[in-house]
């Protein structure tokens, strides 16, 4: 795992991707700090991180598009499969390198509240709570981008899909407002989600039986609860969509609330998509 980590980390700084990522993050941190804390005179550094969230839509696809897709395109992934390492160790090594590349500019940004506190009354616990939330949000989005990169050998496709997923997640709360709050609308929406999950399982396993059984079991469970208490489904799907937003979880930190549930959720999303990345690589490993 250490060898994979070192190789990946060096590749980011031998190419321009690592420098572009760090420079882009620091550029916007400087712009928003100047505008919000210096020009507007606000002492809330967490507002800077709040405004910076949207740049994840650009920098995450750029950083993660090549992490696995390029290996598949150049067929160097065969070397990974021949190493005396498990796919879990390979994925963790690659993900660890991503986190270090992300942490480097974040460490610089972490100094900003201390500098500002020398010239004003900055509430450091709130500032560093938001800093932690921003880092956890980025870690979760990087895990999602890494999984998407494992699904294709085209960097362009990986970047496009990643951007689309990030964009939907960013606006998911607003999109939830367009969904009817009726019980049947929630039931139908959950059915579409079940079919989508079955499609993902089929794509990863190429097993019609596994995806079909999963869809039937989940739909049966959904029907059971829907028949048992139809009224409970009223407005349920829009509410679930709002709670799925990774960005909304981060906004808890911006509002000065250190929400342990948000921490657990962001860490769980990271773990889930790392697990899915491992399964994606294992599928390709045994299909070769």
pLDDT tens figures, 69-115:
666 666 665 666 666 678 888 888 889 999 999 999 999 999 999 98
Cα separation values, 173 from 10, 133, 273, Å? 38, 19, 21
How buried is residue 26: exposed, middle or buried, by Cβ count under 10 Å (0-12/13-18/19+)? middle
Helix intervals (H) in 151-207: 155-170, 172-176, 183-205
Rounded CA gap, 66 and 103, in Å?
19
- The answer to whether 56 touches 7, Cβ cutoff 8 Å, is no
Position 7 pLDDT exceeds 90? no
CB atoms inside a 10 Å sphere around CB 15? 11
Predicted confidence (pLDDT) per residue in 175-231, tens digit: 777 777 788 888 888 888 888 888 877 776 667 777 888 889 988 988 988 888 888
Mean pLDDT of the chain: 84
More confident residue, 209 or 148: 148
pTM score of the predicted model:
0.87
Rounded CA gap, 57 and 81, in Å?
31
Q: Looking at residue 54, what DSSP letter applies?
A: G
pLDDT bracket for residue 123 (50, 70, 90): confident
Q: Which long-range CB contacts under 8 A does 153-161 form with residues at least 24 apart? A: 153/69, 153/72, 153/73, 154/69, 154/73, 155/65, 155/66, 155/69, 155/70, 155/73, 156/65, 157/69, 158/61, 158/64, 158/65, 158/66, 158/69, 159/61, 159/62, 159/65, 160/61
Res 205: pLDDT: 66
Secondary structure string (H, E, C) spanning 216-232: HHHHHHHHHHHHHCHHH
With both helix axes pointing from N to C terminus, report the angle between 17-32 and 87-109 in degrees, rounded to the nearest 10.
40
Two tokens, residue 34: 């100047």
More confident residue, 65 or 74: 65
More confident residue, 197 or 167: 167
Res 112: pLDDT: 92
**Dihedral angle sign, alpha carbons of residues 32, 38, 40, 41:** positive
- Percentage of the chain lying above the pLDDT 90 cut: 23
């Amino acid at each position: 795992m250490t060898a994979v980590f070192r190789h990946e980390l060096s590749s980011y700084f031998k190419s321009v991707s690592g420098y572009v990522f760090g420079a882009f993050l620091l550029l916007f941190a400087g712009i928003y700090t100047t505008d919000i804390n210096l020009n507007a005179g606000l002492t809330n550094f967490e507002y800077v991180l709040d405004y910076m969230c949207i740049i994840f839509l650009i920098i995450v696809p750029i950083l993660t598009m090549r992490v696995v897709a390029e290996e598949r395109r150049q067929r160097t992934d065969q070397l990974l499969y021949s190493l005396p390492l498990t796919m879990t160790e390979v994925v963790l090594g690659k993900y660890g390198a991503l986190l270090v590349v992300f942490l480097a500019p974040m460490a610089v940004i972490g100094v900003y509240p201390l500098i500002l506190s020398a010239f004003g009354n900055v509430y450091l616990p709130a500032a560093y709570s938001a800093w932690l939330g921003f880092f956890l949000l980025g870690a979760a989005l990087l895990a999602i981008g890494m999984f998407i990169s494992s699904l294709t050998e085209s960097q362009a496709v990986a970047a496009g899909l990643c951007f689309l997923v990030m964009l939907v997640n960013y606006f998911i709360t607003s999109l939830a407002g367009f969904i009817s709050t009726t019980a049947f609308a929630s039931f139908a929406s959950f059915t579409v989600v079940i079919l989508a999950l079955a499609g993902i399982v089929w794509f990863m396993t190429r097993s019609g039986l596994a995806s079909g059984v999963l869809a039937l079991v989940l739909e049966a469970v959904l029907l059971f609860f829907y028949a048992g208490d139809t009224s409970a489904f009223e407005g349920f799907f829009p509410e679930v969509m709002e709670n799925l937003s990774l960005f909304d979880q981060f906004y808890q930190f911006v509002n000065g609330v250190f929400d342990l549930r948000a921490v657990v959720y962001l860490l769980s999303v990271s773990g889930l998509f790392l697990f899915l990345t491992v399964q994606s690589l294992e599928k390709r490993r045994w299909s070769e």
